[in-house]
Chain A
Amino acid sequence: MLFFVLIRIPVYAEKTGPETIYLHTDRTVYVAGESIRYKLYVLDGVTQKLSYNSKVGYIEIRAAYQLPAIQCRVKIDAGISNGSILLPDTLTSGVYQLVAFTSFMKNYNESGFFRNEIVVINSFDKDMNFKLLYPDYKIVSDSIDKPFNIIPNKKIYNTREKVSVRIDKTGINANLSVSVFENPRIQTSCNSITELMHKAAIQHLDMLVNKKYVPEQNGKILRGSVLDSITGQPVANATVLLSCIDSVPNLQVAKTNSEGLFQLLLNEYYEGKELFLTIRDMPSTQHWKIEREDEFSLSEKWNPTFKYDTGIYNSFFVKSENIAYINQNYPAEQEYGSPELSGKKAYLPQLYYCSVNPVILSDYTPLNDFKEIVRELFPQVRITKENGNYRVSVLNGSQKMFSDAEIAIFLDGVYVDDLNKIMGLGSEQIKKIEILNTERIFGNLVYKGVISIISKSSVMVKTTPSSWSLRFRNDRFNGSDNYVEENPDSIHDKRTPYFRQLLYWNPNLALKEGESTGFDFITSDNEGNFLIKVEGISDDGRPLSFTSEIQVIKHLSAEK
């Protein structure tokens, strides 16, 4: 028994240890309108291996002292995620902070979130009148014990010349990401995964500040609270219902805890949909409201001190602008990636699966409103009005009596929070009605009957939520990477300008034990110093960071 207890603890700890995130971006300087390509590593803070815990990650890009410029949710698979984020061309020039975290990391101090800086240049900004955080460029921290080396076949290349980079045979398996980009030599706060893990090892202990965030293992978890809007006090044991517009009634249910908090799982079914939250059996004498937790909300603002002029970097920024301008006219990239569609259809939390005979309103004489429809077509339904409030009851099929208990009414798949919303609907607006007049269950929620109204033109879209309800859009996951390798034919066409600051990006380079690997790319017409940056994590949890630099110089001899 004692043995069991002793071995059980570390296993549990391993499963629920803190997480660490590293975000490898393809570059450090961007022109507004370009995309940031990224590879996200989620690591278990205890084992340092890729974490299988969280499946959702959050990335925020913000300027100092300002509201976030970009917020996106990314799908994490076995601890990794890669994609691209489009930088709107309205962003002003300056230093931006990238913040990445998982919901589970919110249990710990925010200082454990990943943070790094990028510079964004706006092409319309000719003055470049902003300042930088750090004065000098620091060499990227490579892994201390190098299990392998990255070796380019040369150090100096001509323009439009093939570069072959070899990674020697190693004794490890690892998942790597590689970027080759023109090095602006701008210092940032987090230069490599090795550096991050070193900091994390020092910081993580005793940072637990919260216990309410479970890992998002099956999708995003929507969190919120029910509060008394007058006193601001939390409301315990309130039943919160979630539904969205669909051709079938759908529902999710949560009860608030003693602190008035609730949480609901949002799977892929809810992606990009308008969600409706309401409170079941809302007492007419109460003034409750639902507040949704902003999953991106960071308690710490970004208030850095910028001291250093862009001075020596200005020429690099101007060059970046010019290259972006050329590439706008000679585009080689695909448009912003669209979200990946998973093979399996997302589970729809449908209220009922039994067969129901729908009543198609167009089969009958037109009727003016819902009361008239009920009176003429549904003898098993009764509408009454007490103190100005409508009440709908159905004749219970088993007990042969009208039930006074509230029944569930849905309009276009959404739980109706106020019966006044349906009373004015007549045959002109309603397409079909389904009625279930038996006591039913959905999970642990029992209701006396269901009325499902499907309108002809999504009436629910035009409704306004009641004061105790909430309506909001659940944004989609960020799209997949839009990086495409250059077409060699277009590269060899000397009539077409070919300028790149990013020469190569591979977010998933597998390194296998005992095998050598490598990658090839072609230099562009852009001359300069390019950094080959390899980041990754080995299967046994070793952070891997390697850099090498190559130079591209146009040799006149190549013109011959």
Chain B
Amino acid sequence: MKHIIIFAFLLISVSTPAQSVEVGKLVNDSLSLVKLTGETYFEIKGYNGEQFYNKNWMKGDILLSTGEMIYNEELRYNGLFDELIWYNSSVYQQFKLDKPLISEFWLKNADKPSIHFKQITVDSLTATAKPSNIFAEVGVEGKICLYIQRKISKVNENNVSIDGVLYLQETIKPTPVYYLKLNSNSYVLLEKIKLKPFLQLFPDKSKQIARLVRNNNLKFKTEADLIRLISLLNGTDSPNN
């Protein structure tokens, strides 16, 4: 009984603040000018593999190209189509957000650091195509920046039989693409995480970089190695002698 009374007191205390004004009884959503815009997203299913970078919805913040921020929206990044998908819980629908509106976004992990994506303009992989705007995860930012396009590609297709009907099923898998932004502000594609092509990007400093890799026991085969090396080059990570 005593606990019930204390609890009731706490409830009353919280709900009737002294001298306060419980304002804004009107619908306050209309007081937020900044709106997300996009088109209804129809998920194409039936792939063999996961098309989303984050399979489950994650809370995320979005920096719009207009400079405004939008916080705590349900987001998924589709690596197959390079689109940011938004779940609007008010209308219970998924929407593909207008890409020119999105400058950056952060997918928030409960216990880990947020995953930061930026829209960058890179030369298309085919020589004739125009530069394209892509969402890429920020690996490292500094004098040298590393952006990782969390691309999901079709790698194979097979005929599968469902209830006696043959369907063409595409197999998809993550095929990350690495872009380095050097002092020149241009993006350079790093096709694979291998030391040799990386050193070729820095002909003047290749010896020092090779020594740095050796001294820090970097095998230079994983993304983590690449991030660590660029951090070392930027001076944001302390090297082992």
Contact = CB atoms under 8 A, between A and B. Distances in A.
Contact of B19 (A17, A255, A350): A17
A128 B91 CA distance: 66
B38 A254 contact: no
Contact of B10 (A1, A267, A438, A441): A1
B24 to A, nearest CB: 4
Contact of B23 (A46, A107, A253, A444): A107
A221 B26 CA distance: 12
Interface string B22-36: 111111111111111
B23 A443 contact: no
B26 A262 contact: yes
A350 B65 CA distance: 12
B35 A263 contact: no
B54 interface: no
Interface string B85-129: 000101101010011110000000000000000000000000000
Given A2-B10, A16-B23, A353 B100 contact: yes
A4 to B, nearest CB: 9
A510 interface: no
Given A2-B10, A12-B17, A263-B31, A211 B93 contact: no
A353 B106 CA distance: 20
A107 B27 contact: no
B202 to A, nearest CB: 37
B33 A211 contact: no
A5 B37 contact: no
B14 interface: yes
Contacts, number: 136
B33 A267 contact: yes
A6 B36 CA distance: 38
A267 B100 CA distance: 22
B10 A348 contact: no
Interface in A83-138: 104, 107
B241 interface: no
A403 to B, nearest CB: 11
Nearest to A264: B30
A316 interface: no
B103 to A, nearest CB: 11
Contacts of A5: 10, 13-14
B26 A263 contact: yes
Interface string A254-298: 110100011111010000000000000000000000000000000
Contact of A347 (B21, B25, B34): B34
Given A1-B10, A440-B38, A12 B26 contact: no
Interface range, B side: 35 or more
A13 B17 contact: yes
Contact of B93 (A46, A349, A441): A441
Interface in A394-439: 398, 436, 438-439
Contact of B20 (A16, A104, A348, A446): A16
B164 interface: no
Contacts of A354: 37-39, 98-100
Given A348-B66, A438-B40, A440-B38, A211 B21 contact: yes
Nearest to B12: A5
A214 B93 contact: no
B35 A443 contact: yes
B79 to A, nearest CB: 20
Given A252-B30, A344-B67, A9 B17 contact: yes
Contact of B38 (A252, A261, A441, A444): A441
B26 A211 contact: no
A9 B13 contact: yes
Interface in B50-87: 65-68
A262 to B, nearest CB: 7
A265 B31 contact: yes
25 contacts: A2-B10, A5-B10, A6-B13, A17-B19, A46-B19, A212-B23, A212-B24, A214-B23, A254-B30, A257-B26, A263-B26, A265-B31, A348-B66, A349-B34, A355-B100, A398-B40, A398-B42, A440-B95, A441-B36, A441-B38, A441-B39, A441-B40, A442-B37, A443-B29, A443-B32
Interface of A: 1-2, 5-6, 8-10, 12-13, 16-18, 46, 104, 107, 208, 211-215, 218, 221, 252-255, 257, 261-265, 267, 344, 347-355, 398, 436, 438-444, 446
Given A263-B27, A348-B66, A438-B40, 13 more contacts: A5-B13, A17-B19, A18-B21, A211-B21, A254-B29, A261-B26, A265-B33, A354-B39, A440-B38, A440-B95, A441-B95, A443-B29, A444-B90
